[in-house]
Structures are given as C-alpha cells and as structure tokens.
Structure 1
Amino acid sequence: MKYIGFIIENYRAIERIEVKISDPLIPIIGINESGKTSVLKGILSFDKLKDNYNKGEHLNFKNKYSYKEKQCNITARVLIETEEEVEKLAKKMKLKVGDPLVETLFDYVKNKRLINISRSLNLMEYNLIDFPIEEERNKEMADKLFDLLPIILYFDDFSDRVPETIDLPPNYIEKGIRSGNSVQAEWRSLIEEIFYRSTDGEYTIKDFLEIEDPDDKAALLSDVSDQLNADIIDEWKKLKLKGSSALANDEDDLELKIIYTPPTEEYNKYSFEFKVVDKTLNQRKRQFNVTERSKGFQWYFNFIIKLKFNAKYKDNPSNAIYLLDEPGSYLHSSAQEELLSELKVISENNTLLYCTHSQYLLDPEKINISTIKIAIKQEGNIVLKPFNSYGKNYNQGALTPLMDALHLKTGLESINTKNVIITEGITDYYFLKLLTEYREEFQKHDIQLIPGAGAQNLRELISLSIAWSSKYLVLLDNDDAGRNAYNTYISYFGEGESDNLYLYNDREETFVLEDFILDEDEKNILELTNSDNLKSAFISLYFLEDKNLRRRIIKKLDSSNLVFLSSIIDNHFKVENDQTFL
C-alpha cells in the first residue's frame, strides 16, 4: 500500500489543501509564517500513532483567525497495490469466504482505484469516504486499513532532541507503560522497540529487567548496543566514505552504548542513557552524551532511531512518508548538499516532504523543479501553490531560496577572454541555455551566459565583463524596469558602453523575453510543463527529465520572432569574430 496524497481541511489556517504525492522528494518553500510547517503537521495529524509527538501540539487544529470551530478532517488517498494486501486486510477484518467486500477490494486493485480514509480531529476517529460499504462496517475497515498503511515520520530540526535519560516507571514490569503526550513517552516506546528488534524478538525490555544475573544482564545490554552500532555508527561512517566530510564531522572511532541504572531510593525509576564512546585520542575512551556531540550527529542519530525502531517499520520498511521541518538547518552548506544526496537515496523507496529556506536543499539536478510547492498566506488562509503555477501576482520573496539554488548551478567561472551574455535573471538564462544547446542559429559564437538577479542588479557583472571578457552583451526587457536599468548603466559606465546594452525590440512600447515565443508555442510549453506562466515553464523545461522531448520542443519553436533574438547576438559578436581572421 502507498499514499497517493493528502487532503487537509480546516486545519489551523488551512481551509482546504490537497497535497499530491507526485514525486518522492517534495520541497515546500515560502517566507516565514507562510504556513509551511502547518502543512507538515496537518499530514502528521492523520497518524494516531504520532499523537504523543511533542505533547500532541500538532493536534490543536483551531484556526486562530476564526472564533468558530469547524470540522477538521485529514484525508489520506490510498492505493492498495496487490491482492496480497487485500488478503491481509480481509484477515484483519475476519471476513468470511465469499464476502462481497473482498471482491470490491480486488476490483479496486485491478482498476487502481483510490480509497479515501479520513480522520476527524474533532472526534479522533477514522472513516472511509465515498467507499461502497455498510455504515456499520465503515469505521472497522478504516481502522484496520490504517493498521496496514506505511509509517509517517516527522522530524523537527529545532525541537527534536534525544533526552539525556529515558525513564521507566517503577511498576513497569507489572503494568508496562502508558501512552502519553511527552518526549519521554515517545522515547520509552522507541527503547522498547530497540530491545525487541535488537534481539530478533527474543527479549523484551521487560525480560531484560527481570534478569537477575548481572553478567547475563550486561551481555544482553551489550548485544543491544552492538545492534545500535550496526544501525547508526556504521552508517555514519559510510556517510563519511561518500565524501561528506562536512556532515560527518565527528571522528571515525566512535561507539554507541546503552547505560542502564536500576532504581534507587533517591531516584525510583529504571533509567537508560545513550552514550557515545570516543576513542580518537590514542584509543583512550571518553564517554559523552549524544547531546554533547555535533548537531549533525544528533540529527542523524534521532533520524535513524525514529526510522528503524518505529513500531510500524518492521512490517512497512518502504513507502513511508517523511515530514522534515528545516532539515540540516545546523549544518554547513556543503553538509546540506550531502544531506540532500542522502535524502535522495531514502526517497528511492519512500516519500519525503520537507520545508526549507536553504538553497542547498533545492539543487535542481537532484529534485524535480515542478514538484516544489510554495506556501503562501492570503487573507489569513494558507494556500499551497505548485512552482509551475506560481505567477507574478504572488510574493516573489518566497522564491528566493529556489532562485539562489538555480544560480548556484550556473557558475560564474572564469570569464577571461570569453564572449559573455548577461541576462536580467535566471529565467532568461535557462531559456537562452536551451536555445544555444538545441538551435543552430544560436550556436555561431562561443558564448558564456551569466544570469543576473534582476534588471537593476547587474552593475557588478558588467564591471567584471568590462575588465575580463573578450566582449559582452547585456540583454534587457523593454519594460519600465529594463528601460530604467538601461539609463542607470549608461549614466554609471558612460556612453562608451551603450553598444553593449540592448533593449529587446525598442520599436514596441513593451517587449519582454517571453514575447519571442509565439502563442501556439507558448501553449505547447505550458501544457508540457503543466505551468500557468511562461517564466516558470522555461525553468521546468530546462530540467525536464526527458531530454529528447525537451530537444524536440525547442527545435520546433517558430522562428518568426526568434530570428530577431539570434540576429541581436550574431550582429553583436560577429565583428569580434571577423577580426580574428584579418
């Protein structure tokens, strides 16, 4: 089974948002207070097993902009993929042979129909929506179906921390532990699973506490520690071998241990502690709390523990939903780049949704640009817009990390003795890159493209080009911003540089880069990239996975207007090239 998407209704400032799981790696960006975290917490609220996370704070769904409490529903759109999964569900429901519900489920599998299972946060219960089942069996099937769904894991880089001690109550052996809304409750469940999983189900933590022989107790604790080393430290070391020296900034010679302290008169609880043994200084062992290690190690430790020792992980090791709020926020930029590589690996079998302000977690070569979601708040209501439909009418500051990431992939490099074209922005850059890559009329000159950060922000690039390039050309939109920038640069650099500044089609009152594309071609590009505006479509087209389709689209563009753009470039650089033959 797998999640296809989530519908969040009346959750805090969200009236209704559908989050489609269209890609295994989905970034959510937006300015502060735009509602990014609310989207993740809304999805987390679907999973009742996470109700104790951070004292259940995410279950508080009331919209502070409204006095009226509404019905809050978190709906998961689920696909049952195989008949074996149907049989598991039928067994959990104790359905008899010939029950028509089984045939209905088989039909859903055959036709790949989705099942909508909704959780009401008002009533704290699950129900099926628009599914052909008797009302009295609806809730039962919803509950049993939930039990078979993949896990949902939430990671908050700012608040998720390993407690220094994990305590079990003095009556644990007799009564076990009660669920609760606290960090301790979450980690008690995790340490129970650690003991159980590390011994292949042979020993529970209760069995450990009942062992009287101190040597046997120490041996079992050592086995559990060995398994933790295999699951965490060994993986941490492998991460270093991949070249992530910035992420794995702890030394190689580390070891994990679980320390057990029995109840005393002063402290009448069973206590467990995770310790990191560091042997890097001449093999001298020094013991540290996990919280005393690097922030990167703490994050990774927390991440792996909650992944591998989640109660649902053993039966559902794939198709998990990872919700990461500002992952790697404490890491250096190069470490964040490596972290994105690790998230990409995890996404091969799972889905990751993560909020970020970091350009280093938006590398267009590792993520699908079209899957980026932008959170915005309009009149107190949170809206989630796909990048391809995020137009000029919205706050462009929300796109800053993405624009920075796109600039990172251009590389200023050395412009010494090269022909240089400076574009207004990143959109122009990627469009011209496509033209120079696939159309012969744009391949006559060896040109390096350099993107600017807006028409008014090109002064430094022009200065560098005057000093170091063989010849340069600045291309500006013929609009108010472009004309103002043109006059500014003439005033600053002098009339002698005016030949290197060009306004698109100054015979028109307004003419921008997109106007070089005719209406029919624009329609095709928008449909292909599922975009609402041509600027974002250019970027999506450039990073299209199907390179052959990308090439065909560009080669088939009508030349009626493009010929003017190619002639601008050709006429400007042709003289320079001709002089080489004199």
Structure 2
Amino acid sequence: MKFSEFKITNFKGIDSLTLNLEKSPEANIFTLVGLNESGKTTILEAIDLFSPLNKELKALEIPGSVIKDPNSMIPISKRDNFNDRVSLAFKLSVDEDDLRKINDYAKEHTEFKKVSPKRDRNYLTYFRHYNFENSKFKDLDSKWSGFEGVLKNGYKTVDIGDISYNHVNTKLATFCRSLIPSILYFPNFLFDFPSRIYLETKENPSPKQQFYIELIQDILYSLDNSTNIKTHLVERIKNKERQSLNRLVQKMAVKVTDVVFEAWSRIFKQQVSATRIVINYASDDEDLAYLEIDIEADDGIYSINERSLGFRWFFIFLLFTQFRPFRKDTPQNVIFLFDEPASNLHPNAQKQLLKSFENLTLNSKIIYATHSHHLINPNWLESTFIVRNEALKFDATDSYNVKQTNISIKTYREFAAAHPHNTAYFQPILDVLDYRPSDLENISNAVFLEGKTDFYVLKYLKEVILKIPGDIALVPSTGSSNLNTLISLYMGWGKEFIILLDSDKEGKSQKTKYIDSFGIIVEQRIFTLDDIDAFWKKHGIEKLFDPSELLLIQQKSFPDTTRYDKTNFHRTIQELLINKIEVPLSVQTMNNFRRLISFLTEKVRDGN
C-alpha cells in the first residue's frame, strides 16, 4: 500500500484541508512552506494521527510528538462548545500484491472467496472520527470504506458493508490495518540517547526498549548476512563466543561509522577520519545482554549525549532514518515527517541536508515543513505546498485573530497562479517567507530563464546526462515577457545575472524591450540562443535536441503517446531529473547542450 491522499477536517486550526501526494509525478519528497504560526506543524500532527497502529516513535516520548489530550484537537475557534467530530480520512493505493493478500485472508477466515474495494478498485479509504460532546472527547470511530465480494457458495457480488456482514468487515479492516505503511513523525532529534541498549528483558520490553531493539535489528539487516539479535548477539554474549561476536559487533560499528560520518563529511564538507563509532557488549548483574554505542575521537571516547547539540541532532537523524528501509517483514513505503529539520544547522549544512533526503526515499516518502529558504529545493517545486493561516494577514504577520484561524494549503503552482504580480517563478516562495537577503549573504550569480521547461531541461542535461561539475544558479520565470521582477530584484540587491531567451521572434522582441527598459546594465547581460551559435536561429530549448529524441524521451513516462506534446515532454523531463534516470542522446544533442552550458557558466561567472 501507498499513501495517496490525506483529508483533515476540524483539527485544531484546520477547517478542511486535503493533501494529495499523487499530483506530482513520481515525487517522493514533499515540502510544506510557510511562516511561523502558519500551521505547518498542525498539518504534520494531523498526518501522524493517520497511522492507526504506529506506536514505535510514541514510545520515545519526543517532546511534541504525541497528542496526549484529545481535547486539544478541538478547533481553536470552537472550544467553547464543540459538538462535532474531528475527522481524518486517508486514501491508500493498493496494488495486485495487496489485493492478493486481502483475498487470501478472506478465503481462509471468511465466507467469501473474493473481495475487492467497492468504489474504486485501486484505492482503499480509512477513516478515523474523534467524536466530541460539550467540548469533551467522547469516543473514536475507525472504519474502512466498504468492500464488496463473492460468497464461496455463490456467484453474486454483495456489499460487505451491509449490516449482515459486519463481522467480515471488521476482520478485513483489522487485517488491512496490518498492511498500512508506518508514519514516523520527528518534531526534532534533540533527546537523550540511551547509554545502554538492552537486547532482552525479563518481562515484556517497554515500548521504548522495543524501539531500540528493532533499531539494532535494522542495523543487522543492513549487513545483509542473515543475522538476528537473539541468535547472533544475545546467545553469543551469554555463551562468551567472543571470536564470532567480536567480528559481528565490529561490522556493525563500521557500518554505523560509514553511514554517519560519510554523510557528515558530505554535508559539512569536512573529513572526520579520526572519529569512529565504537560498540561494546556485556551483560548486567541479572545476566541481561546489552550494547553500548559510543564515539571514539583523538581525545577520548564519548557517549552520544556528551557531544554537541548539532552532532546529536545529526547522529540520531541518520541512525533513525538510514537503517529503517532495511527492515524486513513490515509494510514498505514508510512516510517520514520532519518539522523544521536542521533549523539549528548552518545554512550550507541545511542545503546539503536536502541532498541526504534523496537517499531516504528508497521505499519511503518524506514530508517536511520549513520556513527556511535554504531548505527549499527548486527541483521539488512541483511537490511543494504553501501553508497559510487566515489569522495571519499576508502583509502583516504580526496581526493575529483567533476567530479567523483557518489553515489552508495550496500547491506551489496554484499559489503562484493566484499571485500573478509575483512574476518570478521562485519569488512567491521568498515572498511568503518574507525573505530579503542581507548584504553579507552570498547570493549566487544567476541565469534567468524564460520558464520551467528551460530550467528542468538544463538541470537534467547538466546534472544527469553530461554530469558537468560545479553549481550554476538557474532561475526560471513564467515566460519571456515576465522577467522584469527578477531583473529589478537582482539590480536592487546589487547581484550579478545574465538572461537567456529563445531566438524566435518573441525572444528577439523581449530582448529589445528589456534593453529599452533597463538600459546599459542589461545590454551586455542578455542573450538569445543564436547569440551563442548562429545555427540556433529561431530556436527554443527543445530544438537543441534531435527531433526524434523528443518523442522518445516523452515515451519514458507516456509510453502510449505517438506525437510530441510539450506538456508531456516537460513532465517527463521532471521525472527523469528527480529520479536521475539517464536517456541515451545523440552526440550532436549532447554537444549542443555542452556548448550552451559552458557559455552560460563562463558568462555568469564573469558577471558579464
């Protein structure tokens, strides 16, 4: 199963809100952007409630991760006398394997030989209704959308939601809940890491102990050597099988060291070769086996909790996320929820942290909330959502009115369309974050492009096909005639930029218009494609491809299409870029883009 859509009604400051995860092609990372108090955390809290059986992170008692009092979910403006329900409904897509498991279960445990979702055969919907009376929590009503099925002794399809089959519906609902992927909500990673991780207990382990036991097993899974805690750790510790035990623990320590410090070096651009993870094992006075995870540096051995807050955040983040995808015999497609991740890290570290997110999306998705422009990746704008709170006026964020509280969400594309005065493609996000760079901030020299297609095509060719090193800031607008805001913005900031336009009639016309409007400051910074190569006269970016390649590329995502369609081509390029999928291209095409990118890089570097 995969999460497809979350619908939230009457939850805290949310009147009615729908978050659709299938609008963006093949996206695995979703960004919630908004000011403080805009409602980003409220949305994450509501999504976390969608996981009906997930108790593993609750066991850690991370501050802010658990809603302990259901009454706190009552809409803020209705707390005086709320007689309604807080409603959560989520849609899950089901594949053939899911349906096979459901049918196998039904055949064995019910009087039905075949069952399927009643309304939409590709989706199931699960509801959680928190009912309130006189502003007090009354009860929780959880249910699935109805099934239909065929009885073993008949051929007619019947509605399993009928009262006659309530017992069957209950059984199927219980089984289907076991197929729901986990939702793991991390408000932060600043909590104490245990000095000892017990691998066994005399009685049933507490939820917190069980969480860390499963974490150790995840590390063992990552070794891919068929080891488990009971046989290869606990029994060896008790039987003092030191040779095999030492080798296994050493492998675990090396794996954690590689995962943590390789990422640390990549994100913080500094090597930590003299630091490593050390794992020790022992048993206590009651003969209970445990592990200790410490950090060895040049100046000694430290516990995790003795390191800086920044290191603790980063270490626990990697430990809890990098090893989880190795877990076996549990539903895949985990969703990680991060609230203001790495807000205490340096801006460059925040940018690099975004790259580490891409490594988490194997069998999982990420939804993260931020109000930092450093944590926004332009490649993910199609799966970026703007969060607004009607109690906060757009132009006066210090004005707050509880009666007007209503948290809303729009895709970035919808938000940009609703604010046409913001002509720069990326500028509405900066506006909603109330962002202005300081004189000390290192704003990159930029290449202004006509639109999103140019942006994604150039990014794809540079990073995935040609693998040209170095960064170049590509900034898309919403058309060749809409660059005024970008030009004014960079002129006002005193930052360097160049402009690339198509060499068609419109591009030539707009080049003349910008030179007339902004004068000499733009004249040496604006180029059409035929300024770069005379053979590119009357060209747009798509004409740098061999004509036959346009349809071949498009068919990677739309295999049934037989004619080139600009919208489908644009969407395919996005998917190829996001998933870093290479498509074979002709030598001439690659030479065209290599020349174009080289020209832009040289010009923007020189500031000419």
* Structure 1 length-normalised TM: 0.60
Which of 196, 207, 213 aligns to 1:192? It is 213
SS at match of 1:239: helix
Which of 104, 114, 129 aligns to 2:145? It is 129
Structure 1: which 5+ residue stretches go unaligned?
A: 180-184, 415-425, 438-446, 466-471, 477-485, 490-495, 501-539, 549-582
Measure the CA separation in 2 of the matches of 1:450 and 1:42: 39
Per-residue deviation, 1:220: 7.8
Which of 364, 367, 375 aligns to 1:353? It is 367
Match of 1:77 in 2: 91
SS at match of 1:38: helix
Instruction: Label 1:413 to 1:103 Cα distance change in 2 as closer, same or farther (>3 A).
Output: closer
Which of 110, 116, 127 aligns to 1:118? It is 127
**Within-5 A mapping of 1:356-505:** 356-365=370-379, 367=380, 369-378=381-390, 379-390=404-415, 399-400=429-430, 411-412=444-445, 430=451, 458-459=491-492, 461=494
**Within-5 A mapping of 1:530-569:** 544-546=570-572
Instruction: Label 1:178 to 1:295 Cα distance change in 2 as closer, same or farther (>3 A).
Output: closer
Per-residue deviation, 1:307: 3.5
Retained in 2: the 8 A contact 1:126–1:143? no
Match of 1:277 in 2: 296
Retained in 2: the 8 A contact 1:26–1:352? yes
Measure the CA separation in 2 of the matches of 1:372 and 1:125: 32
Match of 2:186 in 1: 155
Instruction: Label 1:175 to 1:147 Cα distance change in 2 as closer, same or farther (>3 A).
Output: same
SS at match of 1:72: strand
Which of 284, 293, 302 aligns to 1:262? It is 284
Per-residue deviation, 1:73: 2.9
Instruction: Label 1:254 to 1:154 Cα distance change in 2 as closer, same or farther (>3 A).
Output: same
Measure the CA separation in 1 of the matches of 2:30 and 2:452: 24
Measure the CA separation in 2 of the matches of 1:75 and 1:382: 17
* 2:37 counterpart of 1:18: no
Match of 1:561 in 2: none
* 2:173 counterpart of 1:142: yes
Match of 1:37 in 2: 41
Retained in 1: the 8 A contact 2:183–2:336? yes
Which of 82, 87, 94 aligns to 2:100? It is 87
Measure the CA separation in 1 of the matches of 2:170 and 2:40: 31
Match of 1:288 in 2: 302
Match of 2:396 in 1: none
Per-residue deviation, 1:32: 0.4
Instruction: Label 1:455 to 1:286 Cα distance change in 2 as closer, same or farther (>3 A).
Output: same
Per-residue deviation, 1:201: 5.9
Retained in 1: the 8 A contact 2:385–2:409? yes
Which of 236, 240, 258 aligns to 2:260? It is 236
Measure the CA separation in 1 of the matches of 2:107 and 2:145: 22
Retained in 1: the 8 A contact 2:446–2:496? no
Deviations 1:497-521 (A, max 9, x none): 9999xxxxxxxxxxxxxxxxxxxxx
Match of 2:268 in 1: 246
Match of 1:208 in 2: 234
Retained in 2: the 8 A contact 1:371–1:386? yes
Measure the CA separation in 2 of the matches of 1:306 and 1:274: 14
Retained in 1: the 8 A contact 2:267–2:353? no
* 2:91 counterpart of 1:54: no
Retained in 2: the 8 A contact 1:340–1:361? yes
Instruction: Label 1:370 to 1:464 Cα distance change in 2 as closer, same or farther (>3 A).
Output: closer
Retained in 2: the 8 A contact 1:263–1:271? no
SS at match of 1:46: coil
Measure the CA separation in 1 of the matches of 2:421 and 2:250: 51
Match of 2:467 in 1: none
* 2:348 counterpart of 1:339: no
Retained in 2: the 8 A contact 1:42–1:58? no
Instruction: Label 1:404 to 1:63 Cα distance change in 2 as closer, same or farther (>3 A).
Output: closer
SS at match of 1:95: helix
* 2:99 counterpart of 1:99: no
Measure the CA separation in 1 of the matches of 2:201 and 2:384: 49
Instruction: Label 1:87 to 1:237 Cα distance change in 2 as closer, same or farther (>3 A).
Output: same
Instruction: Label 1:409 to 1:545 Cα distance change in 2 as closer, same or farther (>3 A).
Output: farther
Match of 2:536 in 1: none
Instruction: Label 1:412 to 1:499 Cα distance change in 2 as closer, same or farther (>3 A).
Output: closer
Task: Between 122-131 and 38-47, report the one with greater CA deviation.
Answer: 122-131
Deviations 1:507-553 (A, max 9, x none): xxxxxxxxxxxxxxxxxxxxxxxxxxxxxxxxx999944469xxxxx
Match of 1:28 in 2: 32
Which structure is larger by alpha-carbon Rg, 1 or 2?
1
Match of 2:8 in 1: 8
Retained in 1: the 8 A contact 2:340–2:370? yes
Per-residue deviation, 1:287: 0.9
Match of 1:523 in 2: none
Percent identity over the alignment is 17
What one-letter code is carried by the residue in structure 2 that aligns with 1:384? Answer: I
Retained in 2: the 8 A contact 1:337–1:360? yes
Match of 1:174 in 2: 202
Per-residue deviation, 1:91: 4.7
Instruction: Label 1:409 to 1:464 Cα distance change in 2 as closer, same or farther (>3 A).
Output: closer
Q: How large is the RMSD of aligned CA atoms in angstroms?
A: 5.1
What one-letter code is carried by the residue in structure 2 that aligns with 1:27? Answer: T
Measure the CA separation in 2 of the matches of 1:104 and 1:88: 11
Per-residue deviation, 1:28: 0.5
Match of 1:66 in 2: 78
Instruction: Label 1:21 to 1:7 Cα distance change in 2 as closer, same or farther (>3 A).
Output: same
Deviations 1:13-66 (A, max 9, x none): 112211111221111000101110111121111223234453762354233332
Deviations 1:147-202 (A, max 9, x none): 1222222223x454342435769xx74322244xxxxx2xx123222454538464
Match of 2:399 in 1: none
Instruction: Label 1:8 to 1:227 Cα distance change in 2 as closer, same or farther (>3 A).
Output: farther
Retained in 2: the 8 A contact 1:30–1:357? yes
SS at match of 1:175: coil
Match of 2:606 in 1: none
- Report the count of equivalent residues: 435
Retained in 1: the 8 A contact 2:93–2:123? yes
* Structure 2 length-normalised TM: 0.58
Match of 1:305 in 2: 319
Deviations 1:275-299 (A, max 9, x none): 1122xx4xxx721122344556534
Measure the CA separation in 2 of the matches of 1:127 and 1:276: 47
SS at match of 1:104: strand
